[in-house]
């Protein structure tokens, strides 16, 4: 996940994307410090502790606390395919 943060967040920032929202599932009920650090260092504007279809849906259509994004990128897995 650390490499994924750099591949997606950093690439978007270098490309000039104004608002980059990153998400990662919780680890033992909390954000994983290494993943949060990687996302922060890559330039994420918002970091969500959320994974799977909940993260995809929340970012795609928005929620009360998450504004929708214009595009979703990332490695995905069997749960979000």
Q: Could you give the CA distance from residue 28 to residue 13 in angstroms, rounded to a whole number?
A: 29
Top pLDDT among 37 and 6 is at 37
Element (H, E) at 61: helix 52-61
Q: Could you give the CA distance from residue 49 to residue 28 in angstroms, rounded to a whole number?
A: 11
pLDDT bin (cut points 50, 70, 90) of residue 1 is: low
pLDDT tens for each residue of 9-67: 999 999 999 999 999 999 898 989 999 999 999 999 999 999 888 999 999 999 999 99
| Res 75: pLDDT | 79
Q: What is the pTM of this model?
A: 0.86
Domain ranges for the chain, please list them.
2-61
| Res 4: pLDDT | 86
């Amino acid at each position: 996940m650390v490499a994924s943060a750099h591949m997606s967040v950093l690439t978007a920032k270098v490309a000039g994307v104004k608002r980059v929202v990153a998400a990662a599932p919780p680890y033992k009920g909390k954000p994983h410090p290494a993943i949060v650090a990687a996302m922060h260092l890559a330039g994420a504007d918002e970091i969500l502790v959320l994974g799977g279809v909940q993260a995809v849906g929340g970012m795609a259509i928005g929620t009360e606390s998450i504004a929708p994004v214009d595009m979703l990128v990332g490695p995905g897995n069997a749960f979000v395919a």
